[in-house]
Amino acid sequence: MKPGAQIVISAAARLYAPVIALFALTILAGHPPGAGVGLIAGAAFALAVVLHALVFGAGASRAAFPPAALRLVMVAGVVAAVAGAGAPGWTYAARLVEGGLFAAAAAAAALAVQVLFGRASMLRDAGWQ
């Protein structure tokens, strides 16, 4: 999208993206562990990433969420989920699994959005001119 072309949409995205991210964190913190809420919260966080990428473009999404950092978060999430699943007797094992699933799902969704939006000609930054 051209800068300044849709000021209402960009203002709404700036307002609602943090609210969606807080909603995802509320889902993660508010539900009991062991019910798969980490994956659901990661998918809810992915909505904020998709909204950001749709409104501000693939380049802005890559600047806000660098791919190298997303890969590290995804690896840390997988390691945390495996560590929590490997130690079922530990008190916080279920929370560790849910947090790991959240991190892995959110990072994987952000990477997928960046790849898909970067390859689609109409969703690239140059396509909106």
* pLDDT tens-digit readout, 5-59: 678 888 888 888 889 989 999 988 888 887 788 889 999 998 988 888 888 887 8
In a domain? residue 21:
yes
Mean pLDDT of the chain: 83
Please give the pLDDT value at position 129.
43
In a domain? residue 62:
yes
In a domain? residue 115:
yes
* pLDDT tens-digit readout, 13-24: 888 888 998 999
Q: Measured between alpha carbons, how far apart are the two ends of the chain, in Å?
A: 7
- Mean pLDDT within 62-78: 90
Residue 107 domain boundaries: 7-128
Residue 67 exposed, middle or buried by CB count within 10 Å (0-12, 13-18, 19+): middle
Number of domains in the chain: 1
In a domain? residue 52:
yes
Residue among 30, 63, 58 nearest 44 (CA): 30
In a domain? residue 122:
yes
